[in-house]
């Protein structure tokens, strides 16, 4: 049986640790915002912080009594040893994780919803912390390169696949996705097999490496791992990004196709590094998919904290309308793969995007 005094102490304890976890998240969030310029990390940290804020009930705040807190203002010499941003980020992540554990333990009986959310956020922060520390140490090269990419080539099955991709790379493309869906044909005209996919992905991976380009695989995490691709691109019906992240590790890129702003927001929360926005126009590469038009491009431009690539029937003629709607990055298929001169087509698109 909990006494009134113990009940009041639990309420104060929950309030203090909600404050502690939210403050720690804000410290890290602001560093990502003002120093790292990483809108993707800012969005994920903000989401965690706001989820806690929704559960910071008034009854916890009303139980607060700082004047009788024996540890108020207490410092530790270790705090003066945080001499660089990485140390500050690491210390605040630890602070948040410790506070969340307290919320779990003491919230189970007082506020089960708070305890469950604290546990979920703590596990999410374990993975996020690795990305934060990599970003602080300046070794997050793939994401830095992704930020610079304006033109994204998505392949389609072709007997001249390697030649087309190499020409595009010569033309300046620095982001390539290998895409060979079920029902595609191999170079010999027969239905494509996983053996064909692996062979093609390995060849394109080598081409991209020689040209300093990022190489991603559509859908197939197993093939991405087998050829050491830079990441994967997932559709709405593919594996969840969180599971893909566990399989690929924190250093690889994860992109996701989105067709509405709600899906973009979900992709940001799930830790995706970029999204595809479309299809802007009807396209034979997405048969049966209704185009979303330019309205969604405008929404993405106004809201997306991560790079987004407008996709769907975009070529030199339709590009100005996409740009006028706020699309500064585009993904193309036929505009390069069906061009008489893929290298020239890539150069022209890059010039227009610049």
Angle of CA points 275, 278, 281, to nearest 5°: 155
Taking the CA atoms of 282, 288, 294 and 297 in sequence, report the sign of the dihedral they define: negative
Catalytic residue among 179, 220, 245, 252: 179
| DSSP classification of residue 290 | P
Catalytic annotation present for 49:
no
Count Cα atoms within 13 angstroms, Cβ side, for 234.
26
Between the alpha carbon of residue 84 and those of residues 31, 62, 79, 80, 326, the distances in Å are 12, 36, 12, 11, 37
Catalytic residue among 257, 304, 325, 329: 257
Catalytic annotation present for 257:
yes
Catalytic annotation present for 179:
yes
Catalytic residue among 20, 205, 286, 329: 286
> How distant is the alpha carbon of residue 136 from its chain centre?
17
| DSSP classification of residue 230 | S
Burial class (CB in 10 A: 0-12, 13-18, 19+), 183: exposed
Q: How many residues does the chain have?
A: 354
Cα distance between residue 267 and residue 100, in whole Å: 24
With the CA atoms of 9, 14, 20 and 21 taken in that order, what torsion angle do they form, in degrees rounded to the nearest 10? 160
- 25: tokens are 């998240």
- 12: tokens are 């104060």
- 257: tokens are 């196709």
- Cβ pair 155, 177 in contact under 8 A: yes
Q: Is 35 left (phi over 0), alpha (psi -120 to 50) or beta?
A: alpha
CA distance from start to end of the chain = 69
Give the Cβ contact number of residue 45 at 10 Å: 25
Q: Which residues are catalytic?
A: 179, 257, 286
């Amino acid at each position: 049986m909990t006494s009134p005094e113990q009940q009041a102490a639990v309420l104060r304890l929950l309030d203090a640790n909600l404050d502690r976890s939210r403050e720690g998240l804000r410290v890290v969030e602001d560093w990502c915002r003002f120093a790292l310029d990483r809108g993707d990390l800012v969005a994920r940290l903000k989401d965690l912080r706001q989820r806690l804020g929704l559960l910071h009930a008034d009854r916890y705040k009303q139980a607060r009594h700082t004047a009788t807190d024996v540890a108020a203002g207490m410092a530790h010499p270790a705090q003066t040893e945080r001499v660089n941003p990485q140390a500050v980020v690491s210390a605040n992540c630890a602070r948040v994780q410790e506070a969340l554990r307290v919320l779990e333990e003491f919230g189970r009986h007082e506020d089960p919803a708070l305890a469950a959310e604290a546990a979920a956020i703590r596990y999410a922060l374990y993975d996020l912390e690795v990305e934060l520390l990599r970003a602080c140490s300046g070794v997050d090269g793939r994401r830095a390169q992704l930020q610079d990419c304006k033109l994204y080539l998505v392949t389609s099955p072709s007997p001249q696949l390697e030649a087309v991709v190499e020409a595009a790379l010569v033309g300046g493309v620095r982001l390539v996705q290998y895409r060979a869906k079920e029902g595609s044909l191999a170079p010999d005209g027969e239905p494509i097999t996983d053996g064909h996919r692996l062979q093609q992905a390995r060849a394109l991976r080598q081409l991209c490496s020689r040209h300093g380009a990022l190489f991603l695989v559509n859908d197939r995490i197993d093939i991405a791992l087998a050829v050491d691709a830079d990441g994967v691109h997932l559709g709405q019906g593919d594996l969840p990004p969180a599971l893909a992240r566990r399989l690929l590790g924190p250093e690889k890129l994860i992109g996701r196709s989105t067709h509405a702003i709600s899906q973009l927001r979900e992709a940001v929360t799930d830790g995706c590094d970029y999204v595809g926005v479309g299809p802007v126009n009807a396209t034979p590469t997405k048969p049966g998919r209704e185009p979303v038009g330019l309205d969604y491009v405008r929404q993405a431009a106004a809201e997306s904290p991560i790079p987004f690539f407008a996709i769907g029937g975009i070529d030199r003629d339709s590009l100005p309308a996409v740009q006028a709607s706020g699309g500064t990055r585009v993904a193309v298929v036929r505009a390069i793969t069906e061009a008489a001169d893929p290298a020239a087509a890539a150069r022209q698109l890059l010039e227009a995007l610049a």
